[in-house]
Amino acid sequence: MYYYFLTRPRTDITSTMTVTDFVPNALGRQLRSDVFDVAMYVPRREQKIWELREVLNFGSSHHIMATSETIGLDVGELAVGVPLEPGSKLSSRTDRLPAPRTRNVDGSPVAARCSLRFSWQGVSSSYQSEYPLTMAERVTGPLNSFNLASSLQGQNASVLFCAVNIMRDAQIGANNYSILPVGHDGAALRNMAITARRNSCSVIETDSIEAARRLAYSSSDAVFLPLYLVLGTSAIGPSISVEHTHPPHEMFWQRPARDFCLPKLRASWEQK
């Protein structure tokens, strides 16, 4: 089961979420629809609550769109989209996000995603996006995100590393966590550690040269979804690119390999 989200990583960057009512992946030949509502919540960190901003439904269309502008997000804020049964009764304030309803209709193996599109200076880039419920319930846990922008992206390029964290429990979501860049020699760049906010999109912006010096971003006290946005301008105009990185466990197969490799990988990077 998956949440969706919108965010605003920088003043001049907006995001748009698109989700259809078509079942993303299912057994059989038929094009199947499955109607649901999407409740948009924003965290109120000071009050330690989630505030219901609006409930989106498909109406006569087959898709729903929402943008960071229509939700009214400030830089670093995020809004969480929760797929729910149509007509679900919701209170305007809650200390715990509702669990998202599943969009799967059988055991077909796919995460039911939305499209998340980032726009900047008239150009845009998107990826198929989701935030698993299991991640939103994990308070702590080690995480290594191996830097996607570790090769140079042009002289004028900026790289925005975005750590998206969603905590279902708004009380826990009011606490901060730390993110540590790691150099290509494997050593943590401790003087560059940042304090990140839960239930928000924490952004580390560097130029491409500085970004390329970093091998990874790690955290020992939170899980987050790592996104890399690259912005550049050249003679042909502006360019933007967004992509997420895989969690390290996807680099290995079989339970014995996972049980062995992941603890070792985490230990290798935490000791530094």
Partner 1 sequence: MRTLPRLRDGLAQIKHYRNSTFGPLNQYPSFGSSVSDLFVGREGLFRTRFHGENSLALVYGRRIPVEHLIILIDCAGAVITQVQVMSDDFRFSIDLPSTGHDFYSFIHLSVYSEMVLRPIARDERLIARNHRGYTGYLMRDSSVETTVHGNFGLLYLGKNGSLRSLARQKSVHRYTVQELFNEAFRYDLCFPNPTARPLRMDVDVVDEVGSIRETVSQVIPPFGNWMLQLGGERLRGGCYLSWRSRLPVGRCIIFEIDEQRSTCNVFHS
Instruction: Identify which of residues 87 and 256 has a Cβ nearer to partner 1 in the complex.
Output: 256
Candidates 74, 89, 107, 195: give the one binding partner 1 (CB under 8 A).
107
Does residue 200 interact with partner 1 by CB under 8 A?
no
Candidates 47, 88, 154, 178: give the one binding partner 1 (CB under 8 A).
154
Cα(163)–Cα(68) distance, rounded to whole angstroms?
17
Largest CA distance in the chain: 56
For partner 1, what does the binding mask look like between residues 121 and 140, x meaning CB under 8 A? -xxxxxxx------------
Could you give the 3-state DSSP secondary structure of residue 196? strand
CA 30 → CA 22, 27, 42, 118, distances in Å? Answer: 10, 9, 36, 32
Q: Record the tokens describing residue 261, joined without a space.
A: 């490799």
**Contact region with partner 1 (CB under 8 A), list: 46-54, 83-91, 105-113, 168-176:** 105-113
Strands 14-20 and 225-234: unpaired
Does residue 269 interact with partner 1 by CB under 8 A?
yes
Does residue 190 interact with partner 1 by CB under 8 A?
no
Sign, CA torsion 260/262/266/269: positive
CB of 261 to partner 1, least distance (A): 5
CB of 160 to partner 1, least distance (A): 13
